[in-house]
Amino acid sequence: MSMNSLQTPLNTLPSEAFSRAGADSPSAAESLSEAGIMVTAASMPAGPADDLVLEVRHVCGGYKSGGFFGRGGSYKEVIHDVDFVVRHGEILGLVGESGTGKSTLAKMILGLLKPEKGEIIHYTKRPQIIFQDPYSSLNPAYTVEWTVEEPLRVFGKYDAAERKRRVREMLERVDVPEEVFQAKPDELSGGQRQRVSIAAALIRRPRFIIADEPVSALDVTIQAQILKLLKDLRTELDLSYLFISHDLNVVYQLCDRVLVMKQGRIVEQGTVEEVFDHPQQEYTKQLLAAAE
């Protein structure tokens, strides 16, 4: 299996592929392929792969630990032969008990962890993530405005005035009040922190977002507001989501399709109606029963 070759999906013109993949950040393609992930971009004309944003093909992976001078040590496989796609514009739920490998899978998709086997193919710009814990996802040393501006500074294509304009526009869009633009994270509420995280994730206009339990740490009323915001932003900014959650009620409300994960394997997948109303697997039935 060739991990480092650049794979081109059907009907894709290479030049176009690069112009899209490279539109966001020239380093994105490099660093993703460094992580053993192939980066390609979807073709603009209609084709079989046209409506995909992500393809995960028979991926296995996990964590290495110990070892002397990087040699030896043990390897614990967490993800076993996971295979699925994310389609353009959908919210794909990923459910399962905690410790089942959901976040590990997210790390692999983001390129923070290298898969041992299989391929992860991106058809859009580098994805961004919204983390569960709004307390550790924002840098405590910096203000809200700095945090949201940082991805643009790193990107380096806009001058200071243009960056500021985009930051303000995005913060206003996600309903962060202007009084807290200069506040540090420890002065914000959990909901505000999560809105700032969303703004920072979206500021470079990615097309694909991984939301790792984005509302689990929030009060129920705030949860509903954040979920509505995510849903509205999907249409406005033409986003697709991989929505990781252990809360089946939230998944039922929000998602179009759902993957059920158990001990690092996808045991069932389908539309939310199929899976929730007619679960095929015993494990899915147990999960649903527990969520009643």
Partner 1 sequence: MKKKMNGYLMAGLIITGVLLLMTLIGAFYTPYDPTVMSAREKFNAPSFAHLFGTDNFGRDIFSRVLKGSGTTVFIALSTVVIGAVIGTAVGAVTGYFGGFIDEVLMRMNDALTAFPSILLALVVISILGPGSRFNLILALGIVFIPGFARVTRTAFASLRDRNYVESARLMGASSARIMLIHMLPNIFSVLFPALTIGFNNAVLAEASMSFLGIGVTPPDASLGYMLSEAQGMIVAAPWYAISTGLMIILLVFGAGLIGEGLQRSGNSTEL
* Site residues for partner 1 per CB under 8 A: 25, 27-28, 31, 69-70, 110-112, 126, 128-129, 131, 133, 136-142, 150-151, 154-155, 186, 200-201, 204
Min CB(233)–partner 1 separation in Å:
18
Q: Which residues contact 256 (CB under 8 A, 6 or more apart)?
A: 90, 91, 92, 271, 272
Please state, in angstroms and rounded to a whole number, the distance separating the CA atoms of residues 78 and 59.
11
CA dihedral over 225, 231, 235, 241, signed as positive or negative: positive
| Sheet of strand 117-122: strand arrangement | 38-39, 117-122, 52-65, 74-87
Smaller CB separation from partner 1, 176 or 266: 176
Question: What is Dmax (Cα atoms) for the chain?
Answer: 56
CA distances from 253 to 153, 229, 256, 288 (A): 36, 13, 9, 14
Min CB(283)–partner 1 separation in Å:
29
Question: What tokens does 132 get?
Answer: 């569960």
Question: What tokens does 116 get?
Answer: 């041992």
Smaller CB separation from partner 1, 46 or 141: 141
Min CB(78)–partner 1 separation in Å:
16
Smaller CB separation from partner 1, 19 or 27: 27
Smaller CB separation from partner 1, 4 or 70: 70
Smaller CB separation from partner 1, 202 or 259: 202
Please tell me the total number of residues recorded for the chain in this structure: 292
Smaller CB separation from partner 1, 195 or 204: 204
Closest CA relative to residue 146, chosen from 104, 203, 225, 219 = 203
Q: Which residues contact 157 (CB under 8 A, 6 or more apart)?
A: none
Min CB(150)–partner 1 separation in Å:
7
Min CB(68)–partner 1 separation in Å:
8
Min CB(107)–partner 1 separation in Å:
8
Give the per-residue SS3 of 96-163: CCCCCCHHHHHHHHHCCCCCCEEEEEECCCCCEEECCCCCCCCCCCCCHHHHHHHHHHHHCCCCHHHH
Smaller CB separation from partner 1, 27 or 74: 27
Min CB(70)–partner 1 separation in Å:
5
